Chains A and B, each alone.
Chain A
Amino acid sequence: MLQSNAASPSSGQEFRRGARDIVPIVIATIPFGLVFGTAASHAQMTMTDSVLLSAMTFAGASQFAALEFWAHPLPVGTILVSVSAVNLRMALYGAAIGRRMQDWSPLARYLGLGLLTDPIVALAELNGGSRLRMAYYFGLAVPLYVNWIATTVLGFIAGSLITNPEVVGLDFMVTAYFIHLLAGFRGRPSAGATILTSLAGSLAAYALLGPPWHIITGAVLGIATAAATVGTPEAKT
């Protein structure tokens, strides 16, 4: 910053910048990793099961859905479709953010996409710049991933340490974080219309079809709204 014509920041600096940006989310995720570990210990999973689920899925909603099925044996196909539908958005995310990883090596790109989560997508969108730096991205992803596995283990060991996260509102932290992210999108072209359509579509699908269909319904309607309003006078504010 001080040297006007200095080269772009080093990889180490970019990694640390990512790690700094992710700190609030790591903190906000701790209760969820703990609660997931605790819930897994109550769902007749072994610790190895729960750690493997966290390491390979790395997606809270899918993992909580998987826990529900664990106690009630169902055909594997049914479980896979349901758990995937919960996080169907990851395919959309992968498509959106993969476009900004074109100058990464294929291995780094696929590894990076494997670590994609909601807050990482949002932070990479807001702070990554036009070219998404690999070091910044992994600075975001690695601490969150390590934290997720570590808190799964701790939660499993503690078992019943956090039996009632509702009492202190811990379970509301991710919702509050999502609301914070939504507030950050204001000012973008057609962000208001996108968000309102998505909210309405999600609520309607939640009431009519039940979860997890509200996620993909709201998302698709919101995205369609953004696509439909681009280039129109309303969108150019």
Chain B
Amino acid sequence: MRVGGHIILSRFGRLHPRVEAGLEAVPAAVIAALVAPIALASTAEMLAGAVTVLAALRFSVLPTLLIGALAVAALRAIGW
């Protein structure tokens, strides 16, 4: 599957700017689609997600991961 997409697209040579922009947006679009369901999962995950967004805008990766994990653990511990 990973190879297949590449083989199909590599047949086309130069790409239209819209296709180019679409391809550039693939990682951001897919990752957003992957994380969105936490908003429906539980109150703890939704709130921890919001906390993690704030952390991600301020800190590097490891503090962000720690803050996210601690936030969700704390919120679950108090029963959310």
* Inter-subunit contact A94/B3 (CB<8 Å): yes
* Inter-subunit contact B36/A24 (CB<8 Å): no
Q: Which of A121, A166, A199, A230 contacts B76 (CB 8 A)?
A: A166
Q: Does B78 contact A (CB under 8 A)?
A: no
- Quote the shortest CB–CB distance from A65 to chain B (angstroms): 14
Q: Which of B23, B25, B56 contacts A190 (CB 8 A)?
A: B25
* Inter-subunit contact B45/A175 (CB<8 Å): yes
* Inter-subunit contact A168/B10 (CB<8 Å): no
* Inter-subunit contact B22/A224 (CB<8 Å): yes
* Inter-subunit contact A125/B22 (CB<8 Å): no
Those of A200-220 within 8 Å (CB) of chain B: 200-203, 206-207, 211, 214-220
Main secondary structure on A side of the interface with B: helix
Total number of B residues with any Cβ neighbor in A under 8 Å: 55
* Inter-subunit contact A194/B39 (CB<8 Å): no
Contacts of B1 in A (CB 8 A): 84, 87-88, 90-91, 94
Cross-chain pairs A/B with CB under 8 angstroms, 25 sampled: A91-B1, A93-B30, A94-B1, A98-B5, A101-B6, A169-B73, A169-B76, A175-B52, A176-B64, A178-B31, A179-B49, A180-B61, A180-B64, A182-B32, A199-B35, A200-B36, A202-B36, A206-B36, A207-B40, A214-B36, A219-B30, A222-B25, A225-B25, A228-B18, A230-B20
**Residues on B facing A (Cβ under 8 Å):** 1-10, 17-40, 45, 48-49, 52-53, 55-57, 61-62, 64-65, 67-73, 76-77
Q: A95-B26, A173-B68, A178-B34 are in contact. List 11 more A-B contacts (CB 8 A).
A: A93-B26, A94-B3, A95-B8, A98-B6, A114-B2, A194-B25, A207-B40, A211-B37, A222-B29, A225-B29, A227-B21
**Residues on A facing B (Cβ under 8 Å):** 24, 27-28, 84, 87-99, 101-102, 109-110, 113-114, 116, 118, 121-122, 125, 166-170, 172-173, 175-183, 185-186, 188-191, 194-203, 206-207, 211, 214-231
